Amino acid sequence: MKTELLAPAGDLKRAKTAIRYGADAVYLGGKRFSLRSRASNFELADIAAAVRFAKEHGAKIYVTVNMIPHDEDLPGLEDYLQQLESIGVAAVIVASVHIAILSKKIAPTMEVHLSTQQSVTNSAALRFYQKLGVDRVVLAREASLDQIDTIAKRSGCDLEVFIHGGMCVNYSGRCTLSNEMTLRDANRGGCAQSCRWKYRLYNGETELSDPHRLFSMSSKDLIAANEIPALLRLGITSLKIEGRMKSAYYIAVVVDAYRKLIDAIQQGENEAEAVENCIKLLKKAENRPTADGFFHGIPHAQHHLYGLEGETIHQEFVATVKDTLPNGKVRIILRNNLPRGIEIEVLSPHKEIRTFTLHTLTHQGVVVDTANIPMEIFEITVPFAVEPGDFLRKKGV
Amino acid sequence: MKFYSILRSFDQLSALHRAGADGVVLGIDRLSYRMPKYTLDECFDILSEAKAYGMEVFLSLNRLLDEDEILEAKSFIDQIENHGFDGIYFQDLAYLDFCAGQPMQRIYAPEAIITSSREVEALCANGIDRVMAAKELTLDEITTMASANPQKIDLFGFGHLPMSFSRRPLVRNYLEEIGLDLKFAEGMELRIKEAKRDVYFPILEEDKETVIFADTIFCALNELTALDRNGVHAIIVDDLFVDPKLLTTFIRSCKNVLNGDDPRNELENLREIAPELDLSSGYFYQKTNLTKEGASL
């Protein structure tokens, strides 16, 4: 069985990017019934377009219907599920038993995948959902590799495991910190990430916390490059990347890195070298500091972010290819400062990273030394073929 | 409507009976968290005495189980079979599998995820006898859910509401980070204060979970008649971080309110015991459906 690489997308452009860079399936959210409401930019027509693009490339689209609904949220749900089925969505990801049962009943050709919001941590709990007809279970992030192995063997169910991205520090779905702190319901897409705030810790009236390094629950992001070989051997159905709010560049880098790793292992290449290469590629994305989550046991202090270390924003991503012209000319959409004379790396789907030195740079026909107007179109010369949507970044930053 | 109390010590049992509690809820070492932990023999002793009082006895097996813990949990359920426990509160659906065929009420009590009438209906059609409704519901939402599913919903009614729970040892990890003695993590007076606000949240760390609680004491006394009228089955009360005397007073007050007394007078009784009592109505009158754009941080 081929293991699926599953990527997130916050809009159609990012869905296409994920598929071009090697995702076997993409999950995305509509305007309603989905968590990450701010990341859900898909109208039904956009979802249909994503489905068409995915089918053309042999990929699948899953739609998150993963809010934990209150009664007032439910009107329109049945129509929505049937519409998703009619446009060819392969599966819905749900966090409600009611929605799981309803979807199987009224949209039977769509698979139902149980969200990690239900915090399934063992094979006996999983059986409850199997009896309901759930096709796949996204395991809780709290499961270790050994536990995942046993769950896989005992359940015989299709399993999905998170391999990369942000981590809830609490059991997903069981946290109301955001409700308490900001009146925003995490289970309905409003999570304010109050766990990442700074707190003072007291024992009675005595402060224990270090004022220069306050208490926080903030978790480092997950990285599972080292664990991919084991997950592939376990026959896990789907390896999932988190981050529907992440940029197209981030998605391209992360999907590309894991795609190359999975392919290398499946083709029998040297695992250690493939893992090392994957980690090197992942470092080009704007991650928070990363750790291995629960894969090897309960996280320790070094799995948390106590200081000011937030997301690392690299300035190395400089442009995307808009289109190509004759004679190696390429029009790019600028994203970050780009001086002439530097070495550029090109990130293209299913290709090794290629480099060139930027000798020509023009703006509206005028030669410039530096491109520095974000989202403006510049023209450069590239000594090899590139495609629209390819990413350019500075080498060695 | 029934009133079930977490039993934090055997000594409380007779007082709770006299106050009018219909039942008690016990925790078990390794299978429960934020609960008093009893051995199986102690549970049998409590069961015997409680039954003599005519009270119901429940076990709260509320941990989410790792794969390597499910045999232990199943074995525990086998050991209590036919001993007369009235039911179990659980948040891991593995227990449904373990309890199959046993004459016990199965009450699904996840921390936050039962928020609609349809969810209750779906769960109760699939082997669950009752559910604990989520705490982040308004009174209108709860009464709607209860009237659509009469006697299928239990509700937390008094005590510090748990806000989050983590599988990580959040306090120990932090103490390790700043080089303090890890023994501090065992304290019962640990609190966290968000850097920008003057509110202290109790935090409790056990072997396998860390729980953060709301700062105020949730009290459903004012809403009791509406909850009863709409078919809520039971109110659960808990004195964690609270003077135990408040618990018995609260239960007496509840009984009085259901017999027609004014809840405002009963609240005064509570305040006589604890004048600085910071009571709250939780989310009964406060929706939590703001978006980032609508929230004032």
Q: What is the pLDDT of residues A139-153, one digit of tens each?
A: 999 999 999 999 999
Contacts of A133 in chain B (CB under 8 A): none
Query: Do the beta carbons of residue B178 and residue A209 sit within 8 Å?
Result: yes
pLDDT of residue B289: 77
- Looking only at the bridges linking them, the beta strands covering B153-159 and B217-219 are antiparallel
State whether residue B244 is helix, strand or coil.
Answer: helix
Separation of alpha carbons A100 and B39, rounded Å: 38
Q: Among the residues of A209-327, which ranges form H helices?
A: 228-234, 248-266, 271-282
**B234 pairs with which residues across the strands?**
B2, B154
Q: Residue B246: what are its φ and ψ, rounded to 5°? A: -65, -30
Contacts of A13 (CB under 8 A, 6+ apart): A248
> Which contiguous run of DSSP H or E holds residue A379?
strand A377-381
**What would the pLDDT profile of A118-127 be if each residue is shown by its tens digit?**
999 999 999 9
Query: Do the beta carbons of residue A10 and residue A245 sit within 8 Å?
Result: yes
Contacts of A142 in chain B (CB under 8 A): 64, 66, 167
Contacts of B241 (CB under 8 A, 6+ apart): B159, B160, B188, B202, B213
Q: What percent of chain B has pLDDT over 90?
A: 86
Sign, CA dihedral B280-A215-B165-A160, equals positive
Apex A187 CA angle, A186 and A190, nearest 5:
40
Q: Strand order in A366-367's β-sheet?
A: A354-357, A343-347, A391-394, A317-324, A329-334, A377-381, A361-363, A366-367
Does residue B195 register a pLDDT over 90? no
pLDDT of residue A33: 87
Separation of alpha carbons A24 and A4, rounded Å: 6
pLDDT of residue A308: 61
Contacts of B177 in chain A (CB under 8 A): 213, 301, 304, 306
Task: Report, as ranges of residue numbers, the positions in chain A whose pLDDT lies below 50.
Answer: none
State whether residue A309 is helix, strand or coil.
Answer: coil
Contacts of A267 (CB under 8 A, 6+ apart): none
State whether residue A382 is helix, strand or coil.
Answer: coil
- Average pLDDT of the residues in B227-254: 95
Residue A60: Cβ within 10 Å count: 20
C-beta atoms of A171 and B65 within 8 A: no
**Burial category of A290 from C-beta neighbours within 10 Å (exposed 0-12, middle 13-18, buried 19 and up):** buried
- Average pLDDT of the residues in B104-125: 96
Separation of alpha carbons A95 and A296, rounded Å: 26
- B residues 138..177 contacting A (CB < 8 A): 141, 144-145, 163-171, 173-177
pTM, two decimal places: 0.95
pLDDT of residue B297: 36
pLDDT of residue A190: 80
Selection from A352, A340, A350, A346 nearest residue A324 by Cα:
A346
pLDDT of residue A40: 62
pLDDT of residue B294: 55
pLDDT of residue A177: 87
**What would the pLDDT profile of B4-52 be if each residue is shown by its tens digit?**
999 999 999 999 999 999 999 999 999 999 999 999 999 999 999 999 9
Separation of alpha carbons A83 and A81, rounded Å: 5
Contacts of B165 in chain A (CB under 8 A): 170-171, 174-175
Contacts of B240 (CB under 8 A, 6+ apart): B6, B8, B34, B159, B160, B204, B213
Residue B156 tokens, joined:
């937390």
- Complex prediction ipTM: 0.95
Contacts of B196 (CB under 8 A, 6+ apart): none
State how far residue A95 is from chain B, nearest Cα, in angstroms: 9
Does residue B296 register a pLDDT over 50? no
**A241 pairs with which residues across the strands?**
A164
Separation of alpha carbons A173 and B43, rounded Å: 31
**B297 pairs with which residues across the strands?**
none
pLDDT of residue A382: 97
C-beta atoms of B136 and A179 within 8 A: yes
**A287 pairs with which residues across the strands?**
none
Separation of alpha carbons A208 and B122, rounded Å: 46
State how far residue B259 is from chain A, nearest Cα, in angstroms: 31
State whether residue A192 is helix, strand or coil.
Answer: coil
- A residues 237..276 contacting B (CB < 8 A): none
C-beta atoms of B94 and A119 within 8 A: no
Separation of alpha carbons A136 and A160, rounded Å: 7
Apex B162 CA angle, A210 and A299, nearest 5:
50
Q: What is the mean pLDDT of chain B?
A: 94
**Does residue B231 belong to the interface with chain A, where contact is any CB pair within 8 Å?**
no
A128, A150, A209: residue with CB nearest B93: A128
Separation of alpha carbons A18 and A349, rounded Å: 9
pLDDT of residue A62: 98
pLDDT of residue B72: 97
A98, A123, A169: residue with CB nearest B122: A98
Integer CA distances (angstroms), A287 to A9, A35, A164, A255, A295, in order: 16, 21, 10, 14, 19
Contacts of A365 (CB under 8 A, 6+ apart): none
Closest CA in chain A for residue B71: A124
Among left, alpha and beta (phi > 0; psi -120 to 50; other), residue A173 is left
Residue B58: Cβ within 10 Å count: 23
pLDDT of residue A187: 84
Separation of alpha carbons A32 and A80, rounded Å: 9
- A residues 153..172 contacting B (CB < 8 A): 154, 169-171
**Does residue B181 belong to the interface with chain A, where contact is any CB pair within 8 Å?**
no
